[in-house]
Amino acid sequence: MKRICYATVLVAGSLSSIVHAEIDARAIAFNCRNCHTESSLDPKSSISSLKNVSAQQIRQALLDFKYDRKPATLMPRLAKGYSDEELAAVAEYLSRK
């Protein structure tokens, strides 16, 4: 009986580590950099490079896009694809780069 209990704990433990998997902010940021690049091929591009924008500002903009509080074209669709935690993580990552 004891052995079964240990097994249950082990399974529950590994499941929770899947749920709380580390967010790979760098991988998400690669996606952002497709558009938000510092060396845009088009010098007239209106898409911000996000350089010198704080993590707090990026995070707030992303949440506003996600919850339709900020009218826009592309970003609401993109932001809806990520959890709030992922958006916070990528905002933090981008503000450091």
Residue in 4, 13, 73, 96 binding ligand HEC, rule: CB under 6 A: 73
Instruction: In angstroms, give the least distance from the CB of 37 to ligand HEC.
Output: 10
User: Measuring CA to CA, how many Å separate 39 from each of 31, 43, 94?
Assistant: 15, 8, 15
Question: Is residue 55 a contact point for ligand HEC (CB under 6 A)?
Answer: no
Binding residue count for ligand HEC, defined by CB under 6 A:
19
d(CA 7, CA 9): 5
User: Helices marked H in 20-83 — which ranges?
Assistant: 25-33, 55-66, 75-79
Which residues lie near ligand HEC (CB under 6 A)?
28, 31-32, 34-36, 47-48, 50, 58, 61-62, 72-75, 78, 90, 94
